Amino acid sequence: MVNGVLLGVSSSANTGTVELTSAGAYSVASYGSTSTGGGYINFTNSSGGASTLTFTAATNVVTTGSGGGRAIGNLSTDLTLIFNGAVDIGSTFNSGVTFNAVGDITINGAVINNSSGVRSLSKDGAGTLTLAGNNNYNGVTYLNAGTLTLVGDKTTVAVNGNSGSTLKLQSGTLTLSGTAGDFTNTATVIGSGSIIKNGGALMYLNNAGGTFSGGLTLNAGELAFTSSGDYGAGVLTNSVFGTGTLTLNGGILRSSSDISGRNIANRVILGGDVQLGKSGAAATLTFNNTGGGTTTLATNLTLTTVADVSYLQEISGSNYRLTKAGSGILSLDASNNIAGVDVSAGKISYRNRNAFGTGLMTLADGVTLGQSNTINNPNLSGNSRLDRSLVNDLRLDGRSRIAVYSNRGFISN
């Protein structure tokens, strides 16, 4: 320690340990300084009682200059490390800092990068790392073990979470801003917060046990996912999208598999043009209503179905029209209160005479309109002529095909 500043070392092989031998509350001015980064260091508590160690400075500095990867370890479950101020992990070197939290670590200030390198943050250990400040580090967040708790609004390139770890969105919004690359979150996401996916990166969501309630919004990029979760008995209890609303404002939503279809049971808001499915893949998407899911059409927009999409949820939005593009089949099974449907490409099918809303339906040159299996109208059954009646006026903008949809193929009627 120099003038109240605690310093570690620059080599992981020489990492030293600060041991607390008496229980209680301790404080240190700061960890590292602008002239000398804090480096590698571990903390332990051998007192047999609970202890806290608080760094009181407005800014703590882990790395400076060209410093590479560094690590701070709390190796005792009965010890809590608290940083009252910011923690600077900046460097000109593209690497990052690891917080090994066997015991808990709380950073009340921001995690910042005041240099030019791309700096990531990694969370190891079975304990909890809590980030409460307005962070601005520019690398990926790696959740390797334990729990990462985010308090308030946060932005990071992406979260790579390992199986068995937990991401807790205590409040606010987590924004994923990555513009390139592939990232995978297999951590369980819990809490009352929400997630926004921005940027062009591909994000895999692989844990259907998520219970976070604030919802997920896709604005850009690609979102691939495994099964939606559990939605029996009319209630959605968990899913990769949490239990809140899935808002689709842009980008691509698809199965993480090229051949296995996926279900979406969340409430949905369609707020912008979005692609459903992966080009060249056979995996279907089903918007399921079993868990109480319904869809709101919030504006005039285009759904580009490059894979087959089965829409079982009711769609409301009486002032807005839906345009169907793409080569895949879009099947609308419910009675939908929308202004109408325009089909610019591919095939569209229905199981309810009100599936296409109340207004004009237009069919572009070369598209196909068909009935999807047994009709879903009250008091009607089978494939009678009455079953196929629609409430809409129909405009043909070229040569279109009117067909019956059976066994996933269209048969001329």
Q: What are phi and psi of 233, to 5 degrees?
A: 55, 30
- Give the type of residue at 150: L
Using CB atoms within 10 Å of the CB of residue 94, give its burial: 0 to 12 exposed, 13 to 18 middle, 19+ buried.
middle
Is 353 a residue whose pLDDT tops 90? no
Q: Tens digit of pLDDT for each residue in 222-258?
A: 999 997 788 877 889 999 999 999 999 999 999 999 9
Region 331-340 average pLDDT = 95
The pLDDT score that the predictor gives to residue 66 is: 73
Integer Cα distance of 362 and 191 in angstroms: 44
Of the pLDDT bands very low, low, confident and very high (cuts 50, 70, 90), residue 408 is very low
The pLDDT score that the predictor gives to residue 301 is: 98
Kindly report the number of other CB atoms within 10 A of residue 386's CB atom.
11
Residue identified by tokens 């991401």 is 167
Closest CA to 166 of 212, 197, 132, 198: 212
Of the pLDDT bands very low, low, confident and very high (cuts 50, 70, 90), residue 28 is very high
CA neighbours closer than 13 Å in the CB half-sphere of residue 320: 17
The pLDDT score that the predictor gives to residue 379 is: 55
For 200, 204, 242, 350, the CA distances from 277, given in Å and listed in that order, are 16, 14, 20, 19
Integer Cα distance of 120 and 179 in angstroms: 15
Q: Tens digit of pLDDT for each residue in 204-214?
A: 999 999 999 99
Is 409 a residue whose pLDDT tops 50? no
Region 371-396 average pLDDT = 66
Q: Tens digit of pLDDT for each residue in 131-182?
A: 999 999 999 999 999 999 999 999 999 999 999 999 999 889 999 999 888 9
Integer Cα distance of 268 and 388 in angstroms: 28
Delimit the domains of the chain by residue range.
1-139
Q: Tens digit of pLDDT for each residue in 42-91?
A: 999 999 999 999 999 999 999 876 777 899 999 999 999 999 999 999 98
- The average confidence (pLDDT) of the chain is 90
Q: Tens digit of pLDDT for each residue in 180-190?
A: 889 999 999 99
Integer Cα distance of 369 and 372 in angstroms: 10
The pLDDT score that the predictor gives to residue 128 is: 97
Using CB atoms within 10 Å of the CB of residue 54, give its burial: 0 to 12 exposed, 13 to 18 middle, 19+ buried.
middle
What the block records as the tokens of 177 is: 């801003």
SS3 233: helix
**Strands 301-305, 329-332: parallel, antiparallel or unpaired by DSSP?**
unpaired
Is 191 a residue whose pLDDT tops 90? yes
Ramachandran category for residue 251: left, alpha or beta (phi over 0 → left; psi -120 to 50 → alpha): left
